[in-house]
A and B are shown apart, each in its own frame.
Chain A
Amino acid sequence: MINIWSLKKANANVAQKKPKVSAAQIRVQKDLSELELPKTMKTHFPVAEDLLNFELEISPDEGFYAGGTFKFSFAVNGNYPHEPPKVKCQQKIYHPNIDNDGNICLNILREDWKPVLTLNSVMVGLQYLLLEPNADDPLNKSAAEDLRSNRKNFEINVRRSLGGGSVSGFQYDNVLTKK
């Protein structure tokens, strides 16, 4: 190495470069530019320059939650893709895997996250959660119980909640898709 260093004096001028863009930013740019979203999903960027913070809207066309439009916030940090994006549901909805604070129980958002997964995987996962709520991973225990014991009744409760009605004394947000 001293050989390299002996060149020091000869090579005093160091090429200056702009700060490099982070690996996380490049990866988000790639993930987003390759998204092929179905009609049921829409993104919303409050600030177009900021790719790391945005919203996803899902309007399922089938299943218990058809007719509603659900907003999820995405926050990607500097450790992406080695850490998953932080995703929260922006509305209060009656769902076995989403609690009233917007926390979501989706395996790839926590314990099963892997760097090979993309933002697209998460979006697909969220859509799947709306199509197939899962009574085995409850965050809203009574909703899970409801789904497990009586699907018909669960469906009625979901319908009521989507219109802003209350279920078991808790009032949910009106998330019906605006025509």
Chain B
Amino acid sequence: MNAAQDTILRLEGLKMHFPVTSGIFFQRVQGWIKAVDGVSLTIRRGETLGLVGESGCGKTTLGRCVLRLYKPTEGRVEYDGQDITDLGNRDLRPFRRRMQVIFQDPYASLNPRMTAGRIIGEPLAIHKTVADREEQRRRVLELAEIVSFHPSMLDRFPHEFSSGQRQRIGIARALALNPEFIVADEPVSALDVSIQAQIINLLMELQQQMGLTYLFIAHDLSVVRHISNRVAVMYLGHVVELADSDVIYSDPAHPYTQALLSAVPVPDPAVEATREPIILPGETPSPLNPPSGCVFHPRCPMAEDRCSRETPEFREVRPNHWAACLLTPGYDQAPPVKP
């Protein structure tokens, strides 16, 4: 297969910085929050790329840049071979239909004045993908059913639902147009494990049938392992590791990934009692003032002197296994190229 064809999304040196201002009338920029600070990666057509990492490390911001809900400060976003970094709203419209999002915060993303049924049906109406009202109604019912949503609840408004019910409205809406690419930002965090399993099975089934691609952002590492082909680990605006899902979990290269995995609580009190998480010393550094050298060095249990001076590159330390850590075996031999 042709490599370029195989890629649905390419990010190059992506940065998203937010200004921090002071003063009410004459706003002065006091500094920048470097939410995403130089991310390069590709997502293959038909794969699920899991994105995990510390809270506040820039996952949601990255997802919003990918969908061009933000205009990146620097770098390139290429979708299906086309540079979409600088496109305006009009030119983005055809892409909007192909790319959908499941938002992290369901409440804030649902129109409080619309019923669940209208919210789910809205994209169908806007993009005119259904012939008439009757067809729209049928499609909405179908979508409600696949997210385990009782049809009698479609006439209610967002505030009348529980968090998990709202999350499912968001999922149904994202699926309405049969998109080819979905940014799913914590899509199952408010669901009980049984409905979570149903939704995950559904997402994987749709992927098999229709070749859907997912950027799957989540904090639940067991869920991420289950659904992802590859996993990217972010820390403070940087992707620090990227590899096949099995490899990340069985043989993590970056010390941050190792600490992260050790902290996962296991749903079995007997197993739980035998586990010892690696507690990272110190506090999460601020994206306002990132540390010098490797951004992880102040908390890294293995850090050496040079880690505070040298900035690690994102390198292929083993075949198809990328990491940004000076101390990872294979780093020095690896060619410094972009994935």
Is the A/B pair a real complex?
A: no
